[in-house]
Amino acid sequence: MTLPSLAGAEWLRAPAVAAIFALLDRDGEEARIAGGAVRNALMGVPVTEVDFATTATPDVVEKRAAAAGVRSVPTGRDHGTVTLVSHGRAFEVTTLREDIETDGRRAVVRFGRSWEHDARRRDFTINALFVSADGTVHDPVGGYPDIVARHVRFIGDADRRILEDRLRILRFFRFHAQLERGALDRAGLGACIRARNGVRELSAERIGQEMRKLVVAPAAPATLEIMQDAGILPVVLAGVGYLARFRKLAEAEAAVGVEPVFARRLVALGCRIEEDVERLALRMRLSNPERSRMSAALAAAAAVRLDLNERETRAAIYRFGSEAFRDGLLLAAARSGPDSRVQRLHEFPDRWTVPVFPIRGSHVTALGITPGPAVGALLNALEAWWIEQDFQPDSEALKVRLKQAVEAAHRR
């Protein structure tokens, strides 16, 4: 199969990229862009990250950068990686290498000068292509036909590739889900099944990194079902996966026209109660904002119904906020299936501005109530009445209502 040229690609001709080539691709050393950037470009997918491979050792990379006034950061120097900052952009530059030994989580490497040897230590054929500064594409392991076929295939022996790094199990499924179409590689699936317990050895951070990408991928529902049947998903989640609800959520998102969100999808996949959120937060080392959004979505899903009238909808949006309301609505739709009411309810926050409750604790204490629990109780009761009245009473009406409540409390 004839390899295309990327000579006309704008991202390849960008000044920042050209500066790295000018620094490294000379005086007996060679540099090429490797991996994901080449894969995405050949697939017609936007190129967001550009990583370089080079025959130059880290010492040479750093010396050349210093001489050219380019900032270098030794982000992974022991493994041959130096980050160079060009025109405000950061680029990882990694010396060609070969693995000497691995334990399934990290590798001992030695530097080399063979592009084919470097390609063969990578995970999948689609990730082992290179491109030179002039746009020439190099394909040492036959990855381009797999890119055309949208086929994720391990390089060489799949069992050995996984033994080198257990994370490749999750990456196998993640890339399959992202490519959206193409048959799943049977040899790769078999190797993943045989090594599935190795997922338990991975750090929470690495599991989370892959799952953030997998669950929002175009073919996530079908891919997760394969992982469930293979006995891999329960190991990843350390619990049960709710695949039917996940698929219906994806369908509801598509029907409404919203992009998938990791936190919302993870709730659909693995959460019934708040304890599930906490379990997955630990399992994947989720950030506080991710955990908070999952908890809010789960709470909203328990309260939001598809038959809410406008008054009830306003109350729900006020209670949960627009984001959690919409997450909860889509999760509720995932319980019931396709429903024309979802679109109208999802658009409701755009048509209504959430009001601000105008009464504060100072209004209560000004009426003679001692600061403490009684102030909060009066405010909560007053706010509940205001919501019940569909937010219609203004501040003056609320103050009158508050005064009446305080007088009643004094009489008791």
CATH of region 151-232: 1.10.3090.10
Q: Residue 335: its pLDDT value, please?
A: 87
For 112, the token pair is: 């080399």
Side chain identity, residue 86:
S
Under 8 Å between Cβ of 329 and 346? yes
**How far apart (Å, rounded) are the C-alpha atoms in residues 237 and 283?**
7
Q: Residue 101: its pLDDT value, please?
A: 63
Distances (CA, A) of 145 to 53, 124, 138, 171, 394: 22, 12, 13, 19, 67
Tell how many helices (H) and how many strands (E) occur in the chain: 22, 9
Q: pTM for this structure?
A: 0.88
Highest CATH level, class, for 1-149: alpha beta
Low-confidence ranges of the chain (pLDDT < 70): 99-109, 411-412
Radius of gyration of the chain (CA): 28
* 1-149 and 151-232 share one fold: no
Q: Residue 363: its pLDDT value, please?
A: 93
Q: Residue 252: its pLDDT value, please?
A: 95
Q: Of 243, 235, 184, which is closest to residue 210 (Cα–Cα)?
A: 235
Buried (b) or exposed (e) across 299-335, using 16+ Cβ within 10 A?
Answer: bbbebbeeebeeeebbbbbbebeebbbbbbbbbbbbe
Q: Of 300, 163, 370, which is closest to residue 378 (Cα–Cα)?
A: 370
Q: Residue 78: its pLDDT value, please?
A: 81
How many Cα atoms are found within 13 Å in the side-chain-facing hemisphere of 51? 17
Q: Residue 228: its pLDDT value, please?
A: 97
> What ranges do the domains of the chain cover?
1-149, 151-232, 238-354, 361-411
How many Cα atoms are found within 13 Å in the side-chain-facing hemisphere of 204? 10
Side chain identity, residue 301:
A
**How far apart (Å, rounded) are the C-alpha atoms in residues 291 and 48?**
27
Q: Residue 338: its pLDDT value, please?
A: 75
For the CA atoms of 47, 49, 50, 52, the dihedral, rounded to the nearest 10 degrees, stands at -140
Q: Of 343, 328, 332, which is closest to residue 248 (Cα–Cα)?
A: 332
Q: pLDDT tens, 241-273? A: 999 999 999 999 999 999 999 999 999 999 999
In the block, residue with structure tokens 């328990």: 302
Phi, psi (rounded to 5 degrees) for 115? -70, -35
